[in-house]
Amino acid sequence: MSLVPFVFGHGPWARDWRDRVPAMRDCDDAAFVDVLAPSSPAFFHLLLAGNARAFGGMAIPAWVQLDCATLPSAMVGFAQRARDVDPALRADLCRRAGLAAVDDDALVPLAEFCALSTPQPGHVVGFSLFSLLPGLGLRAKALGLYVQQATTQTGITQIDNGALRTHCRFGPLVVQQVGVQVHSKPGTTLIYTLTSPAPSTLSALADGSLTRVDHALPTERIPREALRAGDVLVDVDARDAVVAQRPSGPPA
């Protein structure tokens, strides 16, 4: 599998991020895709299509991908040349993107992570993550945190989302809130903060040579639904959450 890491944005930082992409065993040189270049609409719409496919139809509006992701930050991930993409997947993404076809050489994004910087240096807020090939979700998030030189990441997800397993591979997640009234999924939304792994660890995760960060915390299992603010989440399975350092006393 030959992958092409990409940085999709516009600001000068996005080119710097492309230059920071480490050499990876199964990857060609990283590509910088300028969201405002006349040649970029196909990539833009294929990325929206990949996101919609991964989320089961719930697509990011195009203006959100431009105004809230690729202009203020950049989307970072892995693509393949169209000729290397599974033909059924290629056809489906083209259909969803409203494209009759793409050239064999065109880049087709298959996994993507986007985080927005906060005024606190190194602290980013994860905004978007998807993967169409198992294993690329972890790698895209690791690559994004690596090139952005993140030290802390706040994330928003749902307690019943399989993505929690991916996030837990980066280290303990400190649960900030479970049930977020102002979210469109108020009952199940969870906000966590993660101390980003060291750059060398992120680079190994991005490369796929490491698949999780180990920890040595004593743990207990609880049903996922019992998660609460203050819990330190280290893993999940289909039913349970594995937490460490559960705070004593009543829920916050």
Kindly list the residues in this chain that would bind ligand COA in the complex (CB under 6 A).
54-55, 129-131, 134-138, 157, 161-163, 165-166
Q: Which is nearer to ligand COA, 165 or 246 (CB)?
A: 165
Q: Which is nearer to ligand COA, 65 or 131 (CB)?
A: 131
Q: Which is nearer to ligand COA, 162 or 247 (CB)?
A: 162
Q: Which is nearer to ligand COA, 55 or 122 (CB)?
A: 55
Q: In the bound complex, what is the minimum distance in angstroms from residue 100's beta carbon to ligand COA? A: 26
Q: In the bound complex, what is the minimum distance in angstroms from residue 132's beta carbon to ligand COA? A: 7
Q: In the bound complex, what is the minimum distance in angstroms from residue 54's beta carbon to ligand COA? A: 3
Q: In the bound complex, what is the minimum distance in angstroms from residue 183's beta carbon to ligand COA? A: 12
3-state SS, the chain, equals CCEEEEEEECCHHHHHHHHHCCCCCCECCCEEEECCCCCCHHHHHHHHHHHHHHCCCCCCCHHHHHHHHHCCCEEEEEEEEHHHCCHHHHHHHHHHHCCCCCCCCCEEEEEEEEEEECCCCCEEEEEEEEECCCCHHHHHHHHHHHHCCCCEEEEEEECCCCHHHHHHCCCCEEEEEECCCCCCCCCCEEEEEEECCCHHHHHHHHHCCCCCCCCCCCEEEEEHHHCCCCCEEEEECCCEEEEECCCCCCCC
Q: In the bound complex, what is the minimum distance in angstroms from residue 17's beta carbon to ligand COA? A: 20
Q: Which is nearer to ligand COA, 10 or 93 (CB)?
A: 93
